[in-house]
Structure 1
Amino acid sequence: MSESGGGGVREVKSAARTVELLELLTARGDRPARLQELADALGVPRSSMYALLQTLVSRGWVRTDITGSLYGIGIRALLTGTGYLDSDPRVRLVRPYLDEASDALGETIHMGRLDGRDVAYLATRESHEYLRTISRVGRRLPAHAGALGKALLAERPDAQLPDEPYAALTPRTRTTRASLAADLAEVRARGYAIDREEGVPGIAGFGFALRYDSPAQDAISCSVPVVRLTPGHEQRIVAVMREVRAKIEATAPASGGTVRWR
């Protein structure tokens, strides 16, 4: 075992290695990996990696092809992720209001949560006009590159901004701490974040932090193709999303009496 940052509690190496493997397979998406690739990536002996993979395959956390030479994330990961969403009171609270915003605007509406440098998508209502699988539930995107993330980063002092480098998802992505800080100052003054093709080419986003926690951990956003983003439609989006945010924050129960997850 090795030391962790959790108050002197020692880390269990086998558990840490299992989590690292699952995270690696998840990050690869539809690109299955070979045994040696995984052993090299995590710096463990091939025999140890093989034993770990076989254990996880038998339990459904990892799947393998018919030859037994390629590995990918298994169905148990999906079931566990679904359990997370079903058990989260904030997600249950927000879902009906995403429906309301989607019906009113006809655009794609998201709920996301800040997780380190990224935002994890927890709920999505897709527009019938266009489909963007990049924002499906469970996907993570860098917080600096989208409306959801910038709305949440603006709730924190600039001293807590992620360290550079910032990945450029599009030519419009803000890639320096200084440019991001300047944008976040505008977010604070405006009351919501705007993403104009910074995360996805051709898509603009409007993000609103949900302040039922302090600092806010969750946000909602509306995504719309720039080709149909007229000034009038933008005003309508902001008005509806502000109203929906106010309803969510008014409905959210006080934290007292509920589980406060770290």
Structure 2
Amino acid sequence: MSETGGVREVKSAARTVELLEVLAARGDRPARLQELADQLSVPRSSMYALLQTLIARGWVRTDVTGSLYGIGIHALLTGTSYLDSDPRVRSVRPYLDEASESLGETIHMGRLDGTDVAYLATRESHEYLRTISRVGRRLPAHAGALGKALLAERPDEAVPAGPYEALTPQTHTTRAELLADLAAIRERGHSVDREESVLGIVGFGFALRYDTPAQDAISCSVPVARLAPGHEERIVAVMREVRDRIEGVAAPRAGAPHWR
């Protein structure tokens, strides 16, 4: 048994969480019993019993044949509760609306989670609709505007070692490339993702410094075809102003929990 914070990990609980994470990561690709048993190194009979328990409680769903498994609706309900209960997300949402309306572009809020960024809120542009930024999506921090803005808030020694996954031909795949970009971000004050995470899309990221180091960031995503020089300058100016206003209203409140 491994230890977490000095307390022995509960094996059955860890296995349940690992199963849910595997199913969630598969998206629209349902899994079969043997696949899950093999991936998690669990006996087939134990995996079947665990799946049936989670199906009964709504955390896992199965098809009419009982042979395919996917994430259940209770995962959505719990995720929604997380967003609704987070004061920072509630504080930021109105400013995302303002930025999206002002710029006519897609605006995101994300939070660093290990080596990834999880999208917590998004406002889609009326000019173009894409599904690259849905709430709950995860993106490697080294590849996107949100993640790079947050990595730049940390010392170089805290940046994970490469090589990194290439999402597009423009993605930084070596630590040297990424560290050079992070140095430029610190100098500039915001990150730029020029088709590093999605081809055809440029992103501008701004860390929200109400935590030290920053855990959250906002960004603006723009199709390359719409990115005239004047528009880029306006995006940076508007997003800087929005960032400053968010930091002013989202400062820690006396008595509020300080989540880790």
SS of the residue aligned with 2:142? helix
Among residues 164, 183, 186, which one is paired with 2:184 in the alignment? 186
1:137 Cα deviation after fit = 0.2
Give the letter for the 1:213 counterpart: D
State how 1:73-152 maps to structure 2 within 5 Å: 73-152=71-150
- CA deviations on 1:63-84 (whole Å, 9 max, x unpaired) are 0000000000000000000000
* Aligned-partner Cα distance in 1 for 2:252–2:80: 25
Q: Within 1, Cα distance between the matches of 2:194 and 2:251?
A: 33
Over aligned residues, Cα RMSD in angstroms?
Answer: 0.8
Amino acid at match of 1:41: Q
Q: Deviations over 1:24-43 (max 9, x none)?
A: 00000000000000000000
Q: Is residue 2:53 matched to residue 1:61?
A: no
Q: CA deviation at 1:257?
A: 1.7
User: Structure 2 unaligned runs (5+)?
Assistant: none
Q: How many residues align?
A: 260
Aligned-pair CA distance for 1:254: 2.6
Deviation at 1:5, TM superposition (A): 3.7
TM-score, with length taken from structure 1: 0.98
In structure 1, what is the Cα distance between the partners aligned to 2:253 and 2:189?
Answer: 23
Q: 1-side partners of 2:184 and 2:20: how far apart? A: 38
Q: Which runs of 5+ in 1 are unaligned?
A: none
Alignment-derived partner of residue 154 in structure 1: 152
Residues in 2 aligned to 1:39 and 1:165: alpha-carbon distance in whole angstroms: 30
Identity of matched residues, % = 80
1:221-236 correspondence to structure 2 within 5 Å: 221-236=219-234
* TM-score, scaled to structure 2: 0.99
Matched, 1:246 2:244: yes
- Could you say what secondary structure the match of 1:133 adopts? coil
Residue identity opposite 1:91 in structure 2:
V
Does residue 23 in structure 1 map to residue 21 in structure 2? yes
Post-superposition offset of 1:255: 4.7
CA distance in 2, matches of 1:63, 1:228: 42
